[in-house]
Structure 1
Amino acid sequence: MPDEIDREILQLLREDGRRTVRDIAKRVDLTVAPVKRRIERLEETGIISGYTARIDTNKVDSELEAVVQLRVAGDLELEMILAFAEGIPEVTEVLTLAGDPDAIARIRAANIHDLQRVVNLLRTNGRVTGTKTLVVLNTWSRYG
């Protein structure tokens, strides 16, 4: 279980995954060696599962981004939704939720026709009883 210093380290890495160990050590008031060991332990235990680059795709290409709310018949099984979503390359993320809707899928599509095709694919899964598609106009994130 992470302690308060681990939580500070995690917060600093959330803000900037490229932050140096030396910078983190300075900010949490430790030397480099114990911070390096803490980060290695957080990685080994799976608390830190990887490092990614957050890319503003609007500056790279003209794809559409959308979120699709999914309502599912019966008990929601995360594995079922993930197995289905993994077969659709345009689905970039799936979040299962408590309440209504049951899940949200984040989608990147080449254009509106491609988005419609992907939404139709999601609807053809026998467990999906309804969808609501929301096109993203702009994004903001605390961590990037």
Structure 2
Amino acid sequence: MSDVSLDNTDRGILFMLQKDARNITIADIAEEVDVSASTVRNRIEDMEEAGIIEGYFPKINYEQANFPLHVLFVCSASAEEREELARHVLEQRGVVDVREMLTSKRNLYVEVVATDTRDLTEITNDLSSQGFAVESTEIITSHYTRPWEEFSSGPSGE
């Protein structure tokens, strides 16, 4: 847990970054949250150092990138092995995202991309051989996100 306490300026910066970190400038953020550009730069740096901002990632349309199979594996792993398996599976070919859940069953969500069914079968076999019990396989057709509304109120209360 972070010891950092976010104020309205920090929340406004996070909201703007979540909306479109690639295309927004420091000056745009500064204007939106009503502080100087240097304040925005310093706040972003502080939040990165504190681990609040963990990185900046592109949102990829895998189908457009010629990876037509975008699949979510819902898996189970023992509580003792879950974290280690989650970290290790990221090294497997095709895996793009792993979510560790608190539940006892269906506690790992492994997102993969593949070129064809043969490729997907190999990935499935690799998951099984690593100790995952695959509970279900879901084809992802679309993925929608939005900034968390808690970050939307800037210093002016907007």
Q: Which TM-score bucket, shorter chain as reference?
A: 0.7 to 0.9
Distance in 2 (CA, whole Å) between partners of 1:50 and 1:86 is 17
Letter of the 1:142 partner, please give it.
R
Mark the CA change 1:31 to 1:101 in structure 2 (over 3 Å): closer, same or farther: same
User: Mapping of 1:95-106 within 5 angstroms?
Assistant: 95-99=99-103, 100-106=105-111
User: Mapping of 1:65-144 within 5 angstroms?
Assistant: 65-83=70-88, 85-99=89-103, 100-126=105-131, 128-142=132-146
1:24 to 20, 26, 29: 29
Distance in 1 (CA, whole Å) between partners of 2:55 and 2:78 is 33
Distance in 1 (CA, whole Å) between partners of 2:141 and 2:68 is 11
For the pair 1:52 / 2:80, whether they are aligned, the reply is no
RMSD: 1.8
Aligned residues with identical type, % of pairs: 27
Taking CA–CA contacts closer than 8 Å with sequence separation of 6 or more, which of the two structures ends up with the larger relative contact order? 2
Count of residue pairs brought into register by the alignment: 141
TM-score, normalised by the number of residues in structure 2: 0.80
Give a deviation string over 1:85-124, Cα, whole Å, max 9, x none: 1331201110011224111000001112211211111111
Secondary structure at the aligned position of 2:63 is classed as helix
For the pair 1:8 / 2:28, whether they are aligned, the reply is no
Distance in 2 (CA, whole Å) between partners of 1:94 and 1:62 is 18
Letter of the 2:99 partner, please give it.
L
Distance in 1 (CA, whole Å) between partners of 2:91 and 2:31 is 44
**Alignment gaps of 5+ in structure 2:** 148-158
TM-score, normalised by the number of residues in structure 1: 0.87
Letter of the 2:11 partner, please give it.
R
